Amino acid sequence: MDYASSLLGLLPGARRTPGLRDLLANVATYLPPDQVERIREAAEFGATAHKGQKRLSGEPYIAHPVAAADILADLRLDADTIVAAILHDVIEDTPIAKGELAERFGPAVAEIVDGVTKLDQIKFKNREEAQAESFRKMLLAMVRDLRVILVKLADRTHNMRTIDAMAPVRRRAIARETLEIYAPIAERLGLYKLKLELEDLGFQAAHPQRYRVLERALRRARGNQKEFLGKIAAQLRTAFGKAGIEATVETREKHLYSIYRKMQRKRSTLADIIDVYGLRIIVGSVDTTYRALGVVHSVHKPMPGRFKDYIAIPRVNGYQSLHTTLFGPNGVPIEVQIRTTDMHVVAESGIAAHWKYKAGDMSVAERERTRQWLSNLVELQGEGSSEEFLESVKVDLFPDKVYVFTPKGEILRLPRGATVVDYAYAVHTGVGNRCVAAKVDRRLAPLRTVLRNGQTVEIITAKGAMPNPAWVNFVVSAKARSAIRQYLRGLRRSEAIELGSRLLNQALAEFKSSLEEVSPATMQAALGEHGMKDRDELYEKVGLGEQLAPLIARRLLPSMPEETPSGMPPPLAVAGTEGLLVTYARCCFPIPNDPIIAYLSAGRGIVVHREDCVNVEDYRKHPEKWLPVVWEANIERQFVSQIRVDVVNKLGVLAAVAASISTTETNIDHVSIEERDSELTVLMFEVRVRDRKHLAGLMRTVRRMPDVLRVNRTIAAHSPGKARS
């Protein structure tokens, strides 16, 4: 303390810098004098850089970064982190550049500050995109240096402490962001104290009235619980003494926000949430934790199904404890945590507990688990927009709830609600991409099966298999969703290139030419005119419908006459196996042997319709976007068609019609009841058929049933816009 006080005398105006005395006193308790001197210099540099700037509260701006640094000093972090916290707003809010920081305080400090800095210099469509892009940058900087997020969490914590100076609307928005993103990050990193404070301050700012009501009610409920909890703690201390176990027994009050969330989750009132207090027992070794558990259960009976062993299977953030719930007086449940002293330090300080001040001491199992999670962020940045990236990361921030085993007995942690496909991608992206089937506890299970704790999962892969676009609808982990989308984007591009070259060749065939006959100079000129770098980009744009093949064809053959040649271009052959860029309209369900025509939809490629579809009327408005198409010969795949079946309204008729359809070797994709009255029921079946002949045979079979009044093939009444959406 004396040393810190002497430093204050060296800094002009230091006594007028709010919080600096406390910060220097704090860091002087664990850092050597030369590092404390660096921090003093950083404070002087920051005060000069921010000179004249004020916070909304009216105090000098330097008070904020100094307070953020003091929060990190409480976690005993290294000098570079403290210096970066003091300077974390310098690049953003002052003319100081990153290079100047690196020269004055070292490259590590400059990188941390840059990772925290928002992207205010870049113009975005809206505030949400700017915020999401800033978050993306910060998280990716975390991968390189975890101290980036530690500084950001300290910055957010102090901002939440002083949030009352902000306007109510802004205050609520920041509070929601804190509860959705920053508090879960603090929990993921094991920074329990910061997590509790962020949740409490976020709850108070987002829902001030609910916070006040709940706080008053809890104050009234405290008296009785505190008294009987003290008696139970005394009983346990006596029992530990008799068993020869040295243990510290503490009472702990449940967090206000966690009580509020529990009330929401269980749809209950505060009167129903009776376990507001709990006990924490701290012992000397892992072996003693299990002995202590036996003593606790001998004093009070445990509640069945409420025991959790986070020592054998730690949480993803490194948290370890035994959790049990006891039957207290009058049946009141009492939650008990049992842990070692080291586990308690990790539980309170998380990743910071392992932040050694010598580089050689930084390899710790808990930090390695956190780094694995952070490294996944590199894969996630392939997600389309910054907003999508932010939403994907939110999914992975909340604590894992499902623990499953690999066939070799290794444990994998997955988010609650994770499916077999999530597991496959957690093993490896390549395993997920080639996944075709799975065994759960040695039995075959659907890929969308939701996994439960303790199950053993084995993935069956196949060479040449690829992700199904439908998987995106049920996976819950950000890694799985990102990997599926990335793969399909690559697949979509290759298909678009192939389709685009076919469409261009078709358009050039009108002029009795082909792509092979286009000279390199003409092709290069066309690419330059449209701002494209190569042929593949041109073909991709044509395949996606963003450029029209007839217009590009004219540009590739500039010597041709302006008039369109008479007659239609040669039709494009389709077989239903073209992939993502050729789709079949669900307004008319075209199948082989139907007369068909295709519409070029921007961003989607080709949408095939039946010629008698009501939406083909739009042909007259956009003739340049319609293409002649024909079916390839000998198509072997099946297509979806829809039939309407009018039946007598009687018990079991739906099952009877479905059974009749199955006798024709036809799969039913979907069935619905469109209309029903006392005498008539209208059934709509989506069925998979090979061609018109197959469909006609199916309809004849159904029509012969005694309770069937009529059978028709349907065309849904969609507008042209909906048909192509």
Which residues does the annotation mark as catalytic? 92-93
Q: Rounded distance, CA 283 to CA 597, Å?
A: 77
Judge whether 72 and 111 are in contact, CB under 8 Å: no
Identify residue 269 by its one-letter amino acid code.
T
Tokens for 453, please give them. 């704790």
Judge whether 104 and 61 are in contact, CB under 8 Å: no
Q: Rounded distance, CA 147 to CA 80, Å?
A: 9
Q: Rounded distance, CA 165 to CA 208, Å?
A: 15
H or E element that contains 521: helix 520-529
Distance of CA 52 to the CA centre of its chain: 41
Q: Concatenate the DSSP letters of all residues of 570-625 into one string.
A: PPEEE-S-S-TTEEE-TTT---TTS-EEEEEETTTEEEEEETT-GGGGGGGT-GGG
H or E element that contains 204: helix 192-206
Task: Name 572's bridge partners.
Answer: 629
Q: Rounded distance, CA 375 to CA 392, Å?
A: 14
Looking at 11-62, list the stretches that DSSP marks H as alpha helix, in order from N- to C-terminal side: 20-27, 33-49
Judge whether 68 and 157 are in contact, CB under 8 Å: yes
Judge whether 614 and 676 are in contact, CB under 8 Å: no
Q: Rounded distance, CA 1 to CA 24, Å?
A: 8
Q: Rounded distance, CA 295 to CA 300, Å?
A: 9
Q: Concatenate the DSSP letters of all residues of 432-491 into one string.
A: HHTEEEEEETTEEE-TTPBP-TT-BEEEEE-TT----GGGGGT--SHHHHHHHHHHHHHH
Any residues with CB less than 8 A from the CB of 598 and at least 6 apart, and which?
A: 572, 574, 582, 606, 607, 608, 609, 626, 627, 628, 629
Q: Rounded distance, CA 584 to CA 555, Å?
A: 30
Q: Taking CA 430 as the corner, what is the angle to CA 429 and CA 431, rounded to the nearest 5 degrees?
A: 90
Identify residue 126 by its one-letter amino acid code.
N
Q: Rounded distance, CA 235 to CA 224, Å?
A: 17
Judge whether 694 and 622 are in contact, CB under 8 Å: no
Tokens for 510, please give them. 């009108």
Tokens for 73, please give them. 């000093």
Task: Name 605's bridge partners.
Answer: 601
Helix (H), strand (E) counts: the chain: 28, 19
SS (H, E, C) 107-132: HHHHHHHHHHCCCCCCCCCCHHHHHH
418-440 residues labelled b (16+ CB within 10 A) or e (exposed):
bbbbbbbbbeebeebbbbeebeb
DSSP code of 381? T
Tokens for 295, please give them. 């003593």
